[in-house]
Chains A and B, each alone.
Chain A
Amino acid sequence: MIRLALAFVAVLGFSSPIHAAVDIQEVTTPGGITAWLVEEDAVPFTALELRFRGGGSLDRDGKRGAINLMTATIEEGAGDLNAQEFAIARDELAASFQFNVSRDALSVSARFLTENQDEALALLKLALTQPRFDEEAIERVRGQILSNIRSDLNDPNAIAGRIASELTYGDHPYGSSLDGTLESVGALSRDDVLNAYRDVIVKDRVYVGVAGDMSADELAVILDDLLGELPTGGAALPPQTEPRVTGGVTVEQMNIPQSVAMFGHVGIRRDDPDFFPAFVANEVFGGSGLQSRLSLEVREERGLTYGIGSYLVNWDHSHMLLGQFSTANDRVAEAIDVVRAEWARIAEEGVTEDELDTAKTYLTGAYPLRFDSNASIARILVGMQIDGLPIDYIETRNGKVEAVTLEDVKRVAKRLYQPEALRFVVVGQPEGLESVN
Chain B
Amino acid sequence: MRFAAVALLASLAFAPRIAAAAEVTSFELDNGMQVVVVENRRAPVIVHMVWYKVGAADEPPGKSGIAHFLEHLMFKATDELESGELSDTVNRNGGSDNAFTAQDYTGYFQRIASDRLELVMSMEASRMDGLRLVPEDIGTERDVVIEERNQRVENDPGALFGEQMRAAQYLNHPYSIPVIGWKHEAHSLTLEDALAFYEAHYGPNNAVLVVAGDADPDEVRRLAEKYYGVIPPNPNVVERERVTEPPQLAERRLEYADPRIGNDYVIRSYLAPERDPGAQEEAAALTLLAEVLGGSSTTSVLAQKLQFESQQSIYTAAWYSGQSLDDTTFGIANVPVPGTSLEDAEAALDNAIAEFIEEGVDPEKLERIKTQIRASRIYALDNPRALANRYGSALTSGLTIADVEAWPDVLQAVTEDDIIAAAKKVFDRRKAVTGHIRKSATEEVTQ
Contact = CB atoms under 8 A, between A and B. Distances in A.
Q: Do A and B bind each other?
A: yes
A260 B151 CA distance: 9
Interface stretch (B56-64, B95-103, B167-175, B223-231): B95-103
A163 to B, nearest CB: 17
A10 to B, nearest CB: 16
Give the contact-size bracket for chain A.
Answer: 35 or more
Given A300-B84, A326-B147, A361 B93 contact: yes
Contacts of B155: 156, 256-258, 260, 326
B233 to A, nearest CB: 26
Contact of A291 (B88, B112, B381): B88
B148 interface: yes
Contacts of B213: 372
Contacts of A361: 92-94
Interface string B69-88: 00110010000000010011
A113 B43 contact: no
Interface stretch (B242-250, B367-375, B408-416, B417-425): B367-375
Interface stretch (A59-67, A81-89, A187-195): A81-89
B42 A42 contact: yes
Contacts of B142: 303
Interface in B367-393: 368-369, 371-372, 374-376, 378-379, 381-384
A354 to B, nearest CB: 10
Interface in B151-165: 151, 154-155
B38 to A, nearest CB: 13
Interface string A119-146: 0000000000000000000001001100
A143 B375 contact: no
Chain B interface, DSSP helix/strand/loop, else mixed? mixed
A151 B262 contact: yes
Contacts of A45: 378-379, 382
Nearest to A296: B84
Interface in A11-31: 19, 21
A358 B298 contact: no
Interface in A84-132: 84, 86-88, 91-92, 94, 111, 113-116
Given A43-B21, A115-B14, A373 B262 contact: no
B147 A304 contact: yes
A147 B315 contact: yes
B301 to A, nearest CB: 12
A15 to B, nearest CB: 17
Nearest to B146: A328
A302 interface: yes
A91 B71 contact: no
A420 interface: no
Given A147-B263, A257-B155, A326 B150 contact: yes
B150 A328 contact: yes
B99 A2 contact: yes
Contacts of A111: 379
A358 B382 contact: no
Contacts of A371: 43
Nearest to B439: A154
A331 to B, nearest CB: 8
B122 interface: no
Contacts of B43: 19, 21, 368-369, 371-372
Nearest to B74: A2
A42 B21 contact: yes
B84 A150 contact: no
B314 interface: yes
Interface string A241-256: 0000000000000011
B18 interface: yes
Contact of B147 (A1, A94, A328, A362): A328
A307 B442 CA distance: 37
B375 A94 contact: yes
Contacts of B374: 94
A44 interface: yes
Contacts of A368: 43-45, 113
B236 interface: no
A372 B384 CA distance: 9
B3 interface: no
B113 A375 contact: no
Given A84-B308, A91-B371, A301-B140, A362 B94 contact: yes
B176 interface: no
B188 interface: no
A114 B14 CA distance: 10
Contacts of A374: 382
Nearest to A3: B98
Contacts of A411: none
B259 interface: yes
B6 to A, nearest CB: 10
B141 interface: yes
A154 B88 CA distance: 38
A248 to B, nearest CB: 24
A152 interface: yes
B11 interface: no
B18 to A, nearest CB: 7
Interface in A253-281: 255-258, 260
Pick the 10 closest A-B CB pairs, nearest first. Answer: A365-B94, A303-B143, A94-B375, A151-B262, A258-B150, A303-B140, A87-B298, A306-B148, A150-B262, A42-B20
21 contacts: A1-B71, A42-B18, A83-B298, A86-B298, A91-B299, A115-B16, A140-B307, A289-B88, A290-B75, A290-B84, A291-B84, A291-B88, A303-B144, A303-B147, A358-B91, A362-B91, A362-B93, A368-B45, A368-B113, A369-B111, A375-B382
Interface of B: 14, 16-21, 42-45, 71-72, 75, 84, 87-88, 91-96, 98-101, 111-113, 139-148, 150-151, 154-155, 213, 259-263, 296, 298-299, 304, 307-308, 311, 314-315, 335, 337, 368-369, 371-372, 374-376, 378-379, 381-384
Given A19-B43, A94-B371, A151-B263, 9 more contacts: A1-B98, A4-B151, A91-B372, A150-B262, A258-B151, A258-B155, A303-B144, A326-B150, A366-B95
